[in-house]
Amino acid sequence: MAHLPDTPCAEFHADLLLDQGYCIIPQAISPCEVTALACDLADDFSATPLSAGPFYGDDTKRFGSLLRRSDRTRDFVQHPMILDIVQKVLGPWCDHFSLNLTQAIELMPGSRKQVPHRDQDMWPCSRLVDPALGVEFLVNVMWPFTPYTQENGTTHVWPGSHRRCSEVLIDPHESIVAEMEPGAALLFL
């Protein structure tokens, strides 16, 4: 991974995101803000049943509409540096961009790994665009409420896989474990 600047910089992270297909921004937001949002959503996590199906995981809790559930969510979805990065990545290809969804996810102990997938495949038009053009359809952002570690099932990313769209399966050994602490943000294409 490239040398990280002393302070988070939108330009640096946008370039890294476009080059590698992912980037981790350490200390993007105060861990206290993360804890406060997690507390706001604690009752929702308690009330949410386990998901169903192999893709979402029978041992995972998921719920959406976070902006309705906590005003603190705005600090995350309107984070100035994240918006600057998204503008650089998506801006050349569109007049505006929109928030697709907000979702909170909790993996239960012993959860099975989700199958590797590309979220852009939800939009059939993404298959019609030449990957060499570098057109991106979305930027995913994850904010951990707890430390993301190999042991607790953190997300895996495949560096450069955003340029290998014709490959249905990419060797799992090429993946990187996206370990990070609360306050960091994971962006991926």
What's the number of domains the chain is made of? 1
Q: Quick check: is 168 in a domain?
A: yes
CA separation for the pair 161, 63 (Å, rounded): 28
Q: Cα dist. 172→53, 85, 158 in Å?
A: 22, 28, 8
Question: What letters, b where the CB count within 10 A reaches 16 and e where it falls short, cover 62-74?
Answer: ebeebeebbebbe
Query: 42-90: per-residue pLDDT in tens?
Result: 999 999 999 988 778 788 999 999 999 999 999 999 999 999 999 999 9
Chain centre distance of CA 119? 10
Query: 121-134: per-residue pLDDT in tens?
Result: 676 666 667 666 77
Query: pTM of the full predicted structure?
Result: 0.89
Q: Quick check: is 83 in a domain?
A: yes
Residue 176 has phi, psi (to 5 degrees) of -115, 135
| CATH number of the domain within which 100 lies | 2.60.120.620
Q: Quick check: is 5 in a domain?
A: no
Are the CB atoms for 7 and 81 separated by under 8 Å? no
Domain around 97: 10-188
Q: Average pLDDT of 146-159?
A: 90
Q: Quick check: is 1 in a domain?
A: no
